[in-house]
Amino acid sequence: MALRRLIYNVTRSPEMAPGGALVHAPIVPVEGEAYEVHEDVHGEHMLINIGPQHPATHGVLRLVLELDGETVIRCIPHIGYLHSSFEKLGEYRDWNQVVPLTDRMDYLAPLIYNCAYAMAVEKLMGIEVTERCKVVRVICMELDRIFSHLLWLGTTAIDLGAFTVFLYTFQQREKIYDLHERFTGARITTSSTRIGGMMADLPAGWITQLEEFLDHFVPVVEEVETLLTNNAIWVGRTQGVGEISGEDAINWGLSGPNLRASGVTYDVRKDRPYYDYQTYDFDVPVGEHGDIYDRYLCRMEEMRQSVRILRQAIDRLPGGPINVDDPRVILPPKTAAMNDMESMIHHFKVVMEGVRAPVGESWFSVESSKGELGMYVVSDGGSKPVRWRVRGPSFINIAALPHMIEGALLSDVIAVNASLDIVLGEIDR
């Protein structure tokens, strides 16, 4: 299916309202300005260290910068401070026990990671989940896309000095936390998927609560737009900053909104549809300039599109079982396990021996909130993975940071870093 291309009508020159108020601010040419303003310190290079414990690095990222005045000559990121060896731990756990490791990677969109992992293993095992499970997972993934974009919006705005937005977005995130908690029992570490289905079906009234959230959420997006989209400071700090061309973005492996902001129409949901995404009616926003402002616009539009997908998913949510009818992977009902010897043995064997996957491997990717999230699972026929590899979108996105900020100002480092929407749990794994 061809992508529908939404082009934003962004004015790149100063535009004044009839009353004389500034509607759009002009872009400040970054490099030239920096040298003129700081002529006195020009030529004095300096090595500085930002992080790892610094609020604007969004985690324990550490950047070593070589500065010429305020201009960044070189940026060298250091990661690994949160390294938890998840991939190694996964090799010591059976297929279902890996699920709790996945949501600890990206704690900003845990359900997407849960689902992506389960989908990769199901593909390896040749399991087709039920129709209800597919729609429930689509709901989970789109809800967490909003969840993650809201955090990105709030923290990026706060990094650039707009505090109010943070309060708006975190109020909405609280409601998604409540939905998480009601469905999975946990607010962040959801661990909600199992191979072949979900941990539980949706609780009664959950969909109503979700609908209520959506009704209240859409006006909030509009409100945040009024705070930022035409805000002179916001426009001045974001337009033309951290630009990357579409060709470069592909070569650097950027994905998700960071890639689409550069004008590349690559979305896994459209290009390699999974879970019937081709039957949902939604658009993929694509930017033009590849700067922070376009990434912002892409994410804002993605939230609205996620609401569209969520409403369609709610409408088509079918009844029926949520788990596949496959005794290899799914536990018997608790009442049967307590009353019937066969079921008890079955329960015991699935729990103690774990689910077994056939010899083989599978590389499966979904469109996470941060980009393309790939899960590579290799099995030798046992109940544990030989290799479980995560292609973390943040890991690859942040690798392009030096390319985007070398030559920019020190203050832009914070803005560009924030705009990439990284989560260190997944970068360091």
Partner 1 sequence: MSDQSSFKKGLEGLDQGPRPSEQGPEAVPPQAGGLPPHPTVDALRERFGDAVLRHEVVAGDEHIVYVPAGRNLEILGWLRDAEGHRYDFLQDLTAVDYGGGRQIQVVYQLWSVSNKLNLRVKCELPLSGLEIDSVYFLWRASDWLEREVFDMFGVVFRGHPDLRRILMPYNYAEGHPLRKDFPLRGRFTRAEQTRRALAQKTEDHYSPMELEIAHVLGQPVPDPFPAGEAGGGQHGQFGGMGGGG
Which region, judged by CB under 8 A, interacts with partner 1, from 70-78, 100-108, 181-189, 308-316?
A: 70-78
Q: Which of 153, 27, 186 is nearest to 418 (CA)?
A: 153
CA distance 42 to 45: 8
Supply the angle between the helices 292-316 and 410-419 in degrees, to the nearest 10: 10
Q: Taking CB under 8 A as the rule, does residue 394 contact partner 1?
A: no
CA distance 231 to 23: 8
121 vs 307, which CB is nearer to partner 1? 121
CB 231 within 8 A of CB 156: no
Query: Within positions 178 to 217, which residues make up the interface with partner 1, using CB under 8 A?
Result: none
DSSP letter assigned to residue 25: P
Q: Indicate the Cα dihedral angle 203, 204, 207, 208, nearest 10°.
A: -140
Supply the angle between the helices 410-419 and 131-159 in degrees, to the nearest 10: 170
Q: Taking CB under 8 A as the rule, does residue 429 contact partner 1?
A: yes
Among 28, 182, 206, 253, which residue interacts with partner 1 (rule: CB under 8 A)? 253
Q: Taking CB under 8 A as the rule, does residue 349 contact partner 1?
A: yes
Query: Within positions 73 to 92, which residues make up the interface with partner 1, using CB under 8 A?
Result: 74, 76, 78-80, 83, 85, 87-89, 92
Q: Taking CB under 8 A as the rule, does residue 243 contact partner 1?
A: no
Among 3, 22, 56, 64, which residue interacts with partner 1 (rule: CB under 8 A)? 64
215 vs 380, which CB is nearer to partner 1? 380
CA distance 230 to 226: 7
Give the nearest distance from C-beta 248 to partner 1 in angstroms. 8
Beta strands in 231-371 (DSSP E): 360-367
Give the nearest distance from C-beta 277 to partner 1 in angstroms. 15
CB 160 within 8 A of CB 238: yes
Supply the angle between the helices 206-228 and 131-159 in degrees, to the nearest 10: 30
Q: Taking CB under 8 A as the rule, does residue 401 contact partner 1?
A: no
CA distance 315 to 310: 9
Return the bridge partners of 75, or none.
Answer: 65
236 vs 385, which CB is nearer to partner 1? 385
Q: Taking CB under 8 A as the rule, does residue 11 contact partner 1?
A: no
Q: Taking CB under 8 A as the rule, does residue 262 contact partner 1?
A: no
Among 26, 100, 273, 360, which residue interacts with partner 1 (rule: CB under 8 A)? 360
Q: Taking CB under 8 A as the rule, does residue 363 contact partner 1?
A: yes
What the block records as the tokens of 189 is 């570490």
- H or E segment at 415? helix 410-419
Q: Taking CB under 8 A as the rule, does residue 328 contact partner 1?
A: yes
Query: Within positions 113 to 172, which residues make up the interface with partner 1, using CB under 8 A?
Result: 123-124, 126
Q: Taking CB under 8 A as the rule, does residue 351 contact partner 1?
A: no
Which region, judged by CB under 8 A, interacts with partner 1, from 15-23, 178-186, 301-309, 347-355?
A: 347-355
The mark string for 298-327 relative to partner 1 (x by CB under 8 A, - otherwise) is ----------------------------xx
Burial class of residue 7, CB neighbours in 10 A (0-12, 13-18, 19+): exposed
What the block records as the tokens of 309 is 């997908």
Amino acid at site 86 = F
Which region, judged by CB under 8 A, interacts with partner 1, from 138-146, 179-187, 217-225, 394-402?
A: 394-402
What the block records as the tokens of 300 is 């804002």
The mark string for 14-53 relative to partner 1 (x by CB under 8 A, - otherwise) is -------------------------------xxxxx-xx-
CA distance 35 to 324: 64
Which region, judged by CB under 8 A, interacts with partner 1, from 62-70, 98-106, 200-208, 310-318?
A: 62-70
CA distance 364 to 112: 13
Give the nearest distance from C-beta 391 to partner 1 in angstroms. 4
Q: How far is CA 26 from CA 219, 237, 241, 266, 292, in A?
A: 28, 10, 12, 30, 15
Q: Taking CB under 8 A as the rule, does residue 374 contact partner 1?
A: yes
Q: Taking CB under 8 A as the rule, does residue 62 contact partner 1?
A: yes
Q: What is the DSSP string of 374-393?
A: EEEEEE-SSSS-SEEEEE-H
70 vs 271, which CB is nearer to partner 1? 271
154 vs 257, which CB is nearer to partner 1? 257
Q: Taking CB under 8 A as the rule, does residue 283 contact partner 1?
A: no
Size, binding site for partner 1 by CB under 8 A: 71
Among 176, 228, 235, 350, which residue interacts with partner 1 (rule: CB under 8 A)? 350
66 vs 406, which CB is nearer to partner 1? 66
Give the nearest distance from C-beta 131 to partner 1 in angstroms. 19
SS3 state at 245: coil
